[in-house]
Amino acid sequence: MAAKFNPWAMAQEQVDAVAKRIKLDPGIHQVLRNPRRTLTVSIPVRMDDGSIKVFEGYRVQHSLARGPAKGGLRFHPDVTLEEVKALAMWMTWKCAVVGIPYGGGKGGVICNPKKMSQGEIERLSRRFFFEISAIIGEDIDIPAPDVNTTPQIMAWMMDTYSMKSGYPAPHVITDKPLEIGGSLGRNKATAQGCFYTIQAAAKKLRMPLKGKKVVVQGYGNAGFFMAEFLKGAGCKIVAVSDSQGGIYKATGIDVAAAKKHKEKTRTVVGLKGTTKISNAEILEINCDILVPAALENVITKDNARKVKAKIIAEAANGPTTPEADKILNAKGAVVIPDILANAGGVTVSYFEWVQGRMGLWWDEKDITERLKKIMDDSFAATWDTAAKEKCDMRTGAYIVAMKRVADVTKLRGIWP
């Protein structure tokens, strides 16, 4: 029987490999491979039937070297502390590679919100945030939504913190509704940032986007906006998919029609004029650009050789396994790693925090321009590092990120 995948062990192995490559000081290496702070809490919640159920939740702060911890809170039955520790570490590298002044954090509650009422979810959200509030604050740790959490849940959590503090604290959390301090442009920020990295990669490869065939696996928020941005750049979206399966059309899919069909039927499958394909088959379609925007570990050693795309942009977290990475790189594909490709979301979350601290709100044009500059600069730094180190883009991104965190850690020193 195969050993169960351990994301924390994988995250530490990634750090160890890059630390060895850049000859990182052993002491700093030990600091970077361990979380700064780990909190486990019990969350008693009164259920709708009057009973009390106790849930377990976590908040992990991997690093505070470059600024407050930043990262989402997820509600899912499979949440584990090992997973949360890994995700917190990966958030450190994601924030560092795009140069925003945050460290990495992550949190989660073991629960199944799909089997809970709205009232139960609200009570769980408020009590969980109350329990972790001892290590939360606008200068300490700024959470955000993640799997199965929403802007509404962020609003409840912000209100809980504000009521406890005795003053409004809208900037203690990000990705809130616009009415209580959310930022314009946040709903499409992950896709927009990813699109900018694809533009930059295509320019480096001297590959004009007009007429290029694109496949998008995952047609949620990020997947739809990715399709929309790429179509706007002249690309032909030949296939998209969701959890129910995929659709293919050689002459190009109407992305807006696919979205409307999904909203009506809960899946893109069955859109008139398209052919149904599986989520496995969609990855192997002959295309120029592949955007995995759904689940982790979908490109593996078993299918990587069948992937034909020249550019693979990881809008999802961890869609490519380490074994698949080696195969794709050997084939000459450009894999834009998740810590860079999907960092647009946390970047605009940073913008929301800045706007909240200033009490001054930017228009969407300002946000778009600032996001593009950050993504372009971050892509260039990663590309140049990969070229200099003669390595793939993922390793290049990790080198950029770890050097930035290591340099700050050295400058600040170890106290006392």
Task: Tell me whether residue 1 is in a domain.
Answer: no
Task: Tell me whether residue 360 is in a domain.
Answer: no
Task: Tell me whether residue 246 is in a domain.
Answer: yes
List, by residue number, the catalytic residues. 106
Query: End of a domain among 130, 153, 172?
Result: 172
* Same-domain pairing of 308 and 286: yes
* Same-domain pairing of 227 and 264: yes
- The predicted pLDDT at position 1 comes to 38
* Same-domain pairing of 333 and 226: yes
Query: End of a domain among 147, 172, 197?
Result: 172
Task: Tell me whether residue 197 is in a domain.
Answer: yes
- The predicted pLDDT at position 322 comes to 87
Q: What is the CATH number of the domain that holds 89?
A: 3.40.50.10860
* Same-domain pairing of 219 and 271: yes
* Same-domain pairing of 215 and 162: no
Q: How far apart are the C-alpha atoms of 60 and 114, rounded to whole Å? A: 24
Q: What is the CATH number of the domain that holds 223?
A: 3.40.50.720
Coil, helix or strand at residue 152? helix
Q: How far apart are the C-alpha atoms of 292 and 299, rounded to whole Å? A: 9
Q: Which two tokens stand for residue 285?
A: 């379609």
* Same-domain pairing of 105 and 196: no
Number of separate domains in the chain: 2
* Same-domain pairing of 264 and 375: yes
Task: Tell me whether residue 223 is in a domain.
Answer: yes
Q: How far apart are the C-alpha atoms of 416 and 218, rounded to whole Å? A: 48
* CA-based torsion, 374, 328, 87, 227: positive or negative: positive
Interval 312-326: pLDDT, tens: 999 998 899 889 999
* Same-domain pairing of 104 and 209: no
Query: End of a domain among 109, 137, 172?
Result: 172
Task: Tell me whether residue 72 is in a domain.
Answer: yes
* Same-domain pairing of 231 and 323: yes
- Domain extent, residue 165, equals 36-172
* Same-domain pairing of 164 and 189: no
8 A C-beta contact, residue 57 and residue 49 = no
Q: How far apart are the C-alpha atoms of 379 and 288, rounded to whole Å? A: 19
* Same-domain pairing of 136 and 220: no
Interval 272-309: pLDDT, tens: 999 999 999 999 999 999 999 988 889 999 999 999 99
Task: Tell me whether residue 301 is in a domain.
Answer: yes
* Same-domain pairing of 203 and 220: yes
Q: Which residues of 285-311 are buried (b: 16+ CB within 10 A; e: fewer)?
A: bebbbbbbbbebebbeeeebeebbbbb
Task: Tell me whether residue 11 is in a domain.
Answer: no
Residues of the chain with pLDDT under 50: 1-3
- The predicted pLDDT at position 318 comes to 85
